[in-house]
Structure 1
């Protein structure tokens, strides 16, 4: 499997009944995968989808968010220890929707990353630039700042457990996709950053995913880039017909 992965972020979609059927349908159609496959499901579905994946090697479950405190009066939130006790494998942190709608910044996300790692949960850390930043040619600078603030305080052992997902905000849910070369260029930049901070061995093994309107028609070309290890997939992960070809493209 090496460093490859295809993760689906269901966001606030599917009922528990629909989600269970979706996970079971994907597994039945894809069979034993050649890459890690992660279902990022709504909180209400974590336990039941975990039960589905537990019996199927190669499949994992991710929470879509996590609170930064261990416990307390935070109605509606889930802590790292709760997710760990439930056997959840991954947690998506720093998604652009959390940044935009819930005002999360990389200082807070850094705290969450450290809490997840301490609990034995692997973070899928999201970074990416808005359209005006891309058009101004400042995309590498902005993504560099995000990664430095969120991840550079980690130890070498800790960074080995982190998955990085590059998601250009202008391509999320818009139908617009970064070109394979744009994706490769940013992924190579991120890998160089990891190399400079943590060393070449870690950089060579860190998983870097592309997210932003990935679909069956473009997955193989994007995933074919040397520094693109797979995808964090949104809308196309919500149906067996779309998600399975993406899994098989990796």
Structure 2
């Protein structure tokens, strides 16, 4: 999508993720230095300060930026994002996960299928739509099945503390990894089993493994912001996540 750089003194509309919601606001461009902008956000709640590294979208063709500094919020410094190996986006969702005990799987990530089966059960293959009549019934039943699974997951939390669902919160995701909040600090390179429900044409469920790349204390004291790199993600899952990311970015930029 072609983008138009803003002019100094102009007012821009923007959107970014903060805490557990997506925020829409307007801002005045206070300064421009190449690809960097200083923005003064109008009427902002100072208790909701976006952290550095947060993606921020300048709407109506303004493009994608990332926040470099926000300690003087509502004044922030952002830098334009030209290209990434994997596009990423912020959204609000829950993440199902389980910390994998290395002692239980001496083969580590090489035992991926065994780990996923032990954590999430047998993989459920969705029947081909042509085998269901009418097609709409297929979609409705699939959605209902995922909702029932979600309720069962929540009930399982009372019986199995090792499998958890994160709160409905801001998540940053790309085809290379995901960042979300965990109440406890995982170890570096620890294996995490992940379950993601992506809202595409229908809710698409993905189950995969990742390793902990970093874990930093949440600025609000709500646990740790954990970055997890997907490991050996199949091409079809990469394509699904990339399609979801681009779709979400288009939605944000068209607001």
TM-score, with structure 2 as normaliser: 0.24
Structure with greater proportional strand content: 2
Structure with greater proportional helix content: 1
TM-score, with structure 1 as normaliser: 0.24
Larger radius of gyration: 2
